[in-house]
Amino acid sequence: MGIVELVSLAITRSFSPVSIAAATLGLFVIAIFEDQRFYSEKKNEQKIKLLEKESERDYLTGLLNYRALSQEINRLANNNEIHNIVIGALDIDHFKKINDTYGHFVGNEVLKYFSTVFREQIHSAFPKHGYVYRFGGEEFTIVVSNHSLEEVYQLLQSIEKFFNNKSIVTKEGMKLIISFSCSLTDRLNDELLDTTLKRADKMLYSVKNNGRGWIVTDQHHQRPQKPSLERKINNNY
């Protein structure tokens, strides 16, 4: 018995201890069933959200991945409160040489270290407006909204100095100093963000083809980063 039966009994005034007990038990069973169903659905929703979140993270560095970058680009493009977007393409200099010289495990340590520093610095300088993505391999992308290109440029200069002055100490005790190449560009008015991203990527490859170790923007001449990773690797090898 359940709610319908109780109403029917009330109408006909045919209550009895047995019928009341049966109806009460029915309601109790229904309540337990509904509670379990709600808990199960809630748990499934949490699992789905967790899987979606994990699918947007790079397993090695913990950074957001290309899928998350595409979603963020779409979100920013449709947000009327965003008045400026800076996109940067970054590449760890001579990363292949690190892998070839020290092995992929050391290469992974470098990727994790680089990612941790950039994530902390970007998030600290541009809270809720700055994000770092692993684009693939040793290539990364940063997206900063509602801040000027000059602000982002100055931060990257400070990060470059940090890497120059602080070496990575691997688990095996080797010390490495890394540097990076970077291109920064502003999104133009009504420009598709994919177009901005492609321009930044093209600028980065131009830097890499002309010696690496530079930070280049639409507004600055190229400035070399010192010391170069290649010299440091040769000195430590």
Contact 156, 165 (CB under 8 A): no
Confidence of residue 226 (pLDDT cuts 50, 70, 90): very low
Q: What is the pLDDT of residues 27-67, one digit of tens each?
A: 667 767 666 766 655 555 444 444 344 478 888 999 988 88
Is it the case that residue 202 has pLDDT exceeding 50? yes
Q: What is the pLDDT of residues 170-193, one digit of tens each?
A: 988 889 999 999 999 998 877 887
Question: Is 138 among the catalytic positions?
Answer: yes
Alpha helices in 88-214 (DSSP H): 95-102, 104-125, 149-165, 193-208
Coil, strand, or helix at residue 56? coil
Catalytic residue chosen out of the listed positions 56, 72, 109, 138: 138
